[in-house]
Amino acid sequence: MGNNYSNLRELPDIQNPLLLFKNLKTDLDKLKSQIDNLKNIKLSSKLLHGISLKKGDLPDVRSLEYTGSRLSHNLKNTRTTELSERLHKYPEDSKSRLKLVEMFLQEAESCSLPISRDAFLLAMQEVASPMISTQKINMALAAQTIYLEKLQKVLKDDLTETESKIKGDGNVDTILEKQLKRM
């Protein structure tokens, strides 16, 4: 649990669980702005008219972004990379995004907390779109349930670890100071 667990502690949802929904809203807004920025990129000069802009390679898999590349790289299904590339080319492709979330739901048991969070935010991006359906709502609800259960487990494990350290070592102030430094 060592290094992976310390990476989880860096998540804003773990550092301050009371700001969970604010953090989720902020990240959802980032996803929306990434797509909006892609829409707004237009060449206006006739001099540059013949030049085509290359969208570049797939985004970095270490952060949340509109293509779901971090999610796709952590799922076992080989089609996930194809879906992520499709989302890179066509950012508003709702079907590909929903298929990626669906593949996550099939493998959710083996996925980490950050990956569950990515899937939930991608599903919520679909719910926030003007074309809403019961399928989108149900997928978002399923992804939300998985994410919140994984978050609850991490927070519960952290609490259990802290309690066991307090019971095992009589110096409560030292333990609490170490916990505060870790956060």
Per-residue pLDDT of the chain (183 residues; tens, 9 = 90+): 444 555 777 888 888 888 999 999 999 999 988 888 877 764 443 445 444 444 444 455 667 788 888 999 999 998 999 999 999 888 889 999 999 999 999 999 999 999 999 999 999 999 998 889 999 999 999 999 999 999 999 999 888 888 887 777 556 666 666 666 665
The pTM of this model reads 0.77
CA atoms within 13 A on the CB side of 65: 18
- Asked if 119 contacts 74 with a C-beta cutoff of 8 angstroms, the reply is no
